[in-house]
Structures are given as C-alpha cells and as structure tokens.
Structure 1
Amino acid sequence: MKQLLRVSILMFAAVWLSGCSWLRGDDNAEPPAELTDIQAKVKLEERWSKDVGADTDELFLRLRPAVDGGRVFAADRKGHVRAYDATNGQEFWETDAGIMISSGVGVGDSLVLVGSSDAEVVALDWRDGHEVWRTRVSSEVLSVPGADQGTVVVQSVDGKLTGLKASDGSRIWVFDRSVPVLSLRGTSSPLLTQGVVIAAADNGKLAVLDMARGLPAWETSVAVPHGRSELERMVDIDAAPQVWGKTIYTVSYQGRVVALDGESGREVWARDMSSAAGLGVDLSNVYVTDDVSHVWALERDNGTSVWKQDKLAHRSLTAPVAFGDYVAVADFEGYVHLLARGDGELVGRARADRKGVLAPLVVDGDTLYVYGNGGTLTAYRIAGE
C-alpha cells in the first residue's frame, strides 16, 4: 500500500511539475510572454530538415540527438533510430530498436545507445545500425546513456547508476542512491570524461565516480532542502552537468547554480537559482535558463551576473547553448531564439517545429541541431558565416 501511495504521488508530481508550464489551459499558470517583433540582426539559415518519426505525444520526453564523427543520430519514441550526414542530412541507416524510447541518444565507443520506459538499454553499431546487444537495468531510463573507455553508463529513474561492458552489455558495477518521495519528471544525464563519471541526482547531490569500478571519488550536496512540505523541500537536479577545464558546473531545482572543483568537490562559487532546464558554458560565461524562463549570463569564474533576458518569460525555454557569437534557446511553440552573448539582446528567431521543442539543443561547429516535439530534426547555421 505504501508503495502504491508513493507511486501515485510521484505520478501526480511528475505530471504537475514537468507539465504545468506547458499545459496552457491551466488558469493558475503564468501566461507566456507574447513574442514581439525584433530587429533581427542575424538570420538562422536552415541547412536541412528531416522527419525522424513519431511525435512525443505530449509525454514531455527530451529525446536529445547526438553528433559524432560527421553524423547526427536521432530517435523517436516508437523505437526508430536514424543516422544522418551532419552536413546535408542524407540518411545513412534506420533501425527499429523494438522498444519505446524514453531517453536521448548516446554515442561512444562506436556504439549508438538508447534507453526505454521498460528499463531496457539497446546498443547499435555506429556504422550500420545493427544491434550489438540489449540489456535490462533497474528502472526506466530518461537520461542519455554514455560510453567511453569500454564502459557504458546509464542512470535510471530509481537513482541507480549502472556500469555496463561496452562489448556485450554485461553489468560491471552499480552505484545506488536514495530517491526522494517527490522529484521532477526527468533524470540528469551522466557526463563521462577522462576516466570518471560525473552524475547528478534527484536528491540534490553530485558525485564523481571512477568509470571502471563505479567507486566514488567524492560526493557533495549542490542544494539543501528547505521548508516543511515535500514540495517545498524538493531540490532535484535534472540538468546535465557541464565541465570547463577542471571545474564542474551544475544547477538544481529550488536550489543553486554551483561551480565545483573537479578534483576535490570543493565549492568554487555558488548563488541561489532554480532551474530544471539546465545551463551552458563557454570561455567567459555560464548561461542558465531559470524556472520562469529568464535567461542569465553569469561570469564563469565567480558567478557574478553579466546580464538577464526576461522577454521570453514563461515560454518553457530549453537550456541555453553557446552558438558562435550568440546564445540559443528554444521554446514551447517551437521557436529558436538567438541572444547576443555580450548583453543578451534578442537578435534572431526561427521556427523549427510547431509542436514545440523540449529536447536540449545541440551545437557542433557552425551548426545548431534542433529536434522538435513533432519529430522534425533541423540543422541551422548563421547566414553569411
């Protein structure tokens, strides 16, 4: 009975917390800012666009595409995985993974990886899409699986991190963390780099693990719960951590944006901010979309505010990504917005998918990849560059 009650609470919270800003019929929701004409100083030019498959059917799935070796990989919720030429959109292969896909696409060690709502992980060959292996983990996979140095790492919604052999999918290790009663509908995607796994959790903690053995080097609390109710005390981290040099950057819901020393976990700087969408980093700044869809630029070294753009408030923006001289975000109506890096001014706009964009934007070189809720994958570049 207790388990049934917990599941019911989680289902309610998942729908309310992840969907409230998207369900525009809610009379209590803040209305999204109306888009006004802007003096476009830059034009987003479409390089190519492809229909990947089924739409997300209002399931609030963040099916992030992946770019690797001159190819773009994308998947739809019904199990279709496709590989395209990053330059012109030519399709190399298409595979039916035979699962209901709930994660974005991960790429590494010559594998293309997807996870399912039924706790399956499927690995496909990077070259032609044939199935290499499939295995089952402990629960649903919403985060992007990662692979590096012979290890595949998957974070499931029950808080467990699982390390698998890249060669056959057999289990190497499991790192278990407690999951709070209430959490957002989503899971932070682990970051694999230089032999370690950087993973954030629904309990507001971030850990660095040895990739080969799954042993923690350190773990720290990014945010501390406050308040009396479970809703008030929720400090979930759904955003993927980012690394620049030896510093790790992350942000939590009802918590803080934090810079941590990658070797020790020591806090470099922190400031109060709430975000479920996430952040991006470049040479100078950390860019954050907060919970009311204000976009912030903070100095990377100390967290001091550089600028804030509030003209896209309540438009359910994605995490910001640095794109050339600009910062890009997308919204619930499928518009992609370009902001000037220097002052946050809105300088460009294009519509990618009328059903909206939830999946994180992906930048590779001079190209921005946008995967919309309607199943359309579009590649953009800055006109004239």
Structure 2
Amino acid sequence: MRMRYSLLVSVLSISLLSGCSTLKSLNPFSEELEVMAPVPEFLPEFETRTAWDSSVGKGTGEYYSTLRPAHANGIIYAADRQGKVTALSLDSGKTLWEVQLSESEGLLSRRKSALLSGGVTFHQDKVYIGTERGRLFVLNANDGSIALDVPVAGEIIARPTVQKDKILVVSTNGILQSLDINSGAEIWRATLDTPVLTLRGQSSPITIEDKFVVVGGDNGRINAFTFDLGQLVWQERVAEPVGATEIDQLGDIDSEPVFHNGIVYAIAYNSMFVAFDFDSGAAIWRAEYGSIRDFIVTDEVIYLTDQNDIIYALNTDDHQLIWKQESLNKRFVTGPALVGNNIVVADGEGFVFWLDKKTGTFVSKEKLDSSGFIANPITVGNKVILQARNGSVYAIER
C-alpha cells in the first residue's frame, strides 16, 4: 500500500486552493496520512492497444491543470501549459501543425510561458484557449494562426464555451463574460459571488437552445442567465455547507453542469448532487455526492467519480444507486468517459481502467504513462484520447 501526505484539502484529487496551482503544495508538517488503494488485481476480459501516441510540449508538469484535448473533423487539438498548441491526425497521431503562443523576452530570447489553462474548445473553424494571464486566444483551425488575442477580466482555467455569435468565459475572480465571436469585444458580463477560500477549479458554462447560459459558481450556487443580455433568470443553491471550518464548508461547483431532457444537473464539492427543473429552477431531487469532476448523464444512468475517487452509476430519474466501484480510493481518478459498453477512467499514477458500464466491475487495465493523468479522457468513436501530465497524448482502443 502507498501512503501520501494529505494536502490542505485532501487534494490532488480535488484540485488546489485558489491561487496555489502547483502540485508541490504538500504539507510536510501534517501528521495525517491517507492510504492510496493498491492497483486492483483482476483477470482482464480483453486487452487494449495504443493506436498512437504523440508528444505535445511539456504538458502541465507539477501544476494542477485540467487542460484536455478537443476533437473535430478527424483532428485532435491539444496544448501544453507553456504555450504549444498542436493539431494531430485522429487516425495516425501525425502532427498537422503546431504553434507556440509563448513570447520571447529579454536579451537571451528566453520564452515567457503563456500559462495556457482554460481549454481546448473547437467551434466551427476556430480553436479557443484561455490563459492564467487573463488572455483568450482564438486560432484558425486550418493552420494555428492567431485570429484573436483578447484580454479578459481575469485568469481562465475552465474551457471557453462558444455558441452562435458569442464566446463565454469565466474568470477565477467570478466574472462571466460574453464576447463577440468576431471581434472579442465584450457584450455583457455578470458577477458570480466568490468566497475568500475556494478550490483551484472553475465550472465551464453551458448554453441551452441559444437562449440561456448556465454556470456553477464557487459559492455553491447554479446560475441561469439569458444568452443575449446576461440577465439572471434564476439562481439556486447546490452546496449545503456543513462543518466547523472554512475548509469543511467549501462547496465549489467546478464541474460543468449538464442539461438533459429539460433538467439541469449540477454537483458541488463536499456536498450535493442536484437535479433542477430548468423552467422553474426548482430542485427535483438532491443526493449526497460531492465532486469537482465532469460527469455523464444518459437517459437512464448517471456516471460520476466523486472526490474520494469512488465511481458511481445512478438512476437518472431518482438518483438510486445502481453500482459503485470503491477499489480506486485515493488514486486521483479522472472523471469517466463512456465507450460502447464500458466506462473508462485514468488515475494519478498513469493507469487506465475499463469498467463494465452495467455492473461497475473491472474488465481491463493498462499502465499507460508514469507521469499520471488529471484531465478527463474524451471519447472519439471507438478511441479514447488521454493527455498525460508530461504532455503525451494517447489514442487507445480495445
């Protein structure tokens, strides 16, 4: 069994406190040790293979970052923290183009890191990515050339959302901005109340029918605004703070909300998973699950990884438990990807696990990258695309 020092809030698996993005923020004076579950042993039902792997810069290194690739039209778009953005062929992993968004500085032409952190998003013929320096880059998808370089209200660590004629970005200071898709000019902004103590994460906004924008806040509330004017339609609480300390009461919503069949689903750290009727904002059900990772909602089943790295399958209608998989406890597990009849997750030690989506039992595993994974895998057809902390991008399949 492995032991690790606990972070200030039990983090790598939850992210870091606001303003402290390095994974070296371990507390050596803490006497509390947490047990990381051993790698599960089981007889695999099938083997997986790596269709290709490719290096995209230096990755995110020691920093907590949920940078993950995006896919469109047979191309994977990926980035590293320093500023490299690369387009890769989905079929072969071959580099189609790459650009460097870091800048030269000083007489020795040293490179100033771009601190890419919010992205990657593809929309129509553009690639969107935000930075910790409070800039939004828009690249032409055919060659990576810069179409826009826009200053925004603060650092961006969540993926931008692009819909119709607007770009929506959320800054860590709680500002939601709607920007013109052609010029980058601000159309409207809304302020989300931000507590003094928050986690190092942010919820990406979603849009509904080109009429509404829904986003979670660090204050544990879910917010619905009008798409055109940014007027608040409703605001409801997801987190229910408990405990005596500020850390116990953290209730950030860092995962992206999900809209499915007229219902908005949102989950908060330390607290609650809630289904809201979108028209009224009223809660349909509440369940005691906490997480900062994105989750999956289908017509019948919700799949999620909680903050203790337990994977759950819940009934969509009434949140009743279908199965749970507890064998990856404290292994810093990503959110799930759905691939055919399987659920795929990766962990902080670089293992990739395949589970039967009906039972939650393990059916395959592979040690893929020793640097480990933080960002969620994405599914493209029968392939799973993962980006490791060292910048390596993998396409794997059964």
TM-score by length of 2: 0.88
Partner of 2:72: 68
User: What is the Cα-based RMSD across aligned positions, in Å?
Assistant: 2.3
Partner of 2:109: none
**Do 1:256 and 1:274's aligned partners in 2 also have CA atoms closer than 8 Å?**
yes
Query: 1:18: Cα distance to partner?
Result: 8.7
Partner of 2:3: none
Partner of 1:59: 63
Partner of 2:87: 83
**Do 1:145 and 1:152's aligned partners in 2 also have CA atoms closer than 8 Å?**
yes
Query: 1:210: Cα distance to partner?
Result: 2.2
Amino acid in structure 2 at the alignment position of 1:307 = W
- Helix, strand or coil: the match of 1:102? strand
Change (3 A) 1:87 1:214: farther
Whole-angstrom distance in 1 between the partners of 2:324 and 2:265: 19
Whole-angstrom distance in 2 between the partners of 1:218 and 1:112: 31
Whole-angstrom distance in 1 between the partners of 2:295 and 2:31: 29
Whole-angstrom distance in 2 between the partners of 1:266 and 1:370: 37
Partner of 2:281: 265
**Residue 357 of structure 2: which of 341, 344, 348 is its match?**
341
Q: Name the % identity.
A: 28
Residues 111-190 of structure 1 aligned to structure 2 (within 5 Å): 111-190=126-205
Whole-angstrom distance in 2 between the partners of 1:259 and 1:246: 10
Amino acid in structure 2 at the alignment position of 1:40 = P
Change (3 A) 1:197 1:110: farther
Residues 219-368 of structure 1 aligned to structure 2 (within 5 Å): 219-368=235-384
Query: 1:340: Cα distance to partner?
Result: 0.7
Change (3 A) 1:375 1:252: same
Whole-angstrom distance in 2 between the partners of 1:18 and 1:305: 35
**Residue 110 of structure 1: which of 125, 136, 145 is its match?**
125
Amino acid in structure 1 at the alignment position of 2:36 = P
Q: What are the Cα deviations for residues 2-53 of structure 1, in whole angstroms up to 9, with x where unaligned?
A: xxxxxxxxx9844889959988997523121111321111322211111011
Corresponding pairs, count = 372
Report whether the alignment pairs 1:101 with 2:116: yes
- Helix, strand or coil: the match of 2:33? coil
Amino acid in structure 2 at the alignment position of 1:171 = E
Query: 1:285: Cα distance to partner?
Result: 1.0
Query: 1:211: Cα distance to partner?
Result: 2.2
**Do 2:136 and 2:149's aligned partners in 1 also have CA atoms closer than 8 Å?**
yes
**Do 1:326 and 1:339's aligned partners in 2 also have CA atoms closer than 8 Å?**
yes
Q: What are the Cα deviations for residues 71-113 of structure 1, in whole angstroms up to 9, with x where unaligned?
A: 1110000111111122222222111123221222111142211
**Do 2:198 and 2:250's aligned partners in 1 also have CA atoms closer than 8 Å?**
yes
**Do 1:282 and 1:322's aligned partners in 2 also have CA atoms closer than 8 Å?**
no
Query: 1:245: Cα distance to partner?
Result: 2.4
- Helix, strand or coil: the match of 1:238? coil
Of 96-105 and 251-260, the range deviating more from structure 2: 96-105
Partner of 2:47: 43
- Helix, strand or coil: the match of 1:104? strand
**Do 1:93 and 1:129's aligned partners in 2 also have CA atoms closer than 8 Å?**
yes
Report whether the alignment pairs 1:31 with 2:35: yes
Whole-angstrom distance in 1 between the partners of 2:28 and 2:77: 31
Whole-angstrom distance in 2 between the partners of 1:355 and 1:295: 22
Change (3 A) 1:58 1:256: same
Change (3 A) 1:341 1:26: farther
Query: 1:56: Cα distance to partner?
Result: 1.3
- Helix, strand or coil: the match of 2:249? coil
Query: 1:266: Cα distance to partner?
Result: 2.0
TM-score by length of 1: 0.91
Change (3 A) 1:224 1:20: farther
Whole-angstrom distance in 1 between the partners of 2:53 and 2:273: 35
Whole-angstrom distance in 2 between the partners of 1:42 and 1:33: 23
**Residue 386 of structure 2: which of 347, 364, 370 is its match?**
370
Q: What are the Cα deviations for residues 124-180 of structure 1, in whole angstroms up to 9, with x where unaligned?
A: 112221111111111111000111101000011011111111111111110111101
**Do 2:24 and 2:62's aligned partners in 1 also have CA atoms closer than 8 Å?**
no
Whole-angstrom distance in 2 between the partners of 1:255 and 1:16: 22
Whole-angstrom distance in 1 between the partners of 2:351 and 2:379: 16
Change (3 A) 1:17 1:283: farther
**Residue 222 of structure 2: which of 196, 206, 216 is its match?**
206
Change (3 A) 1:230 1:22: closer
**Do 1:75 and 1:82's aligned partners in 2 also have CA atoms closer than 8 Å?**
yes
Change (3 A) 1:227 1:25: closer
Query: 1:57: Cα distance to partner?
Result: 2.2
Amino acid in structure 2 at the alignment position of 1:276 = I
Whole-angstrom distance in 2 between the partners of 1:208 and 1:142: 20
**Do 1:17 and 1:184's aligned partners in 2 also have CA atoms closer than 8 Å?**
no
**Do 2:59 and 2:79's aligned partners in 1 also have CA atoms closer than 8 Å?**
no
Whole-angstrom distance in 2 between the partners of 1:331 and 1:24: 23
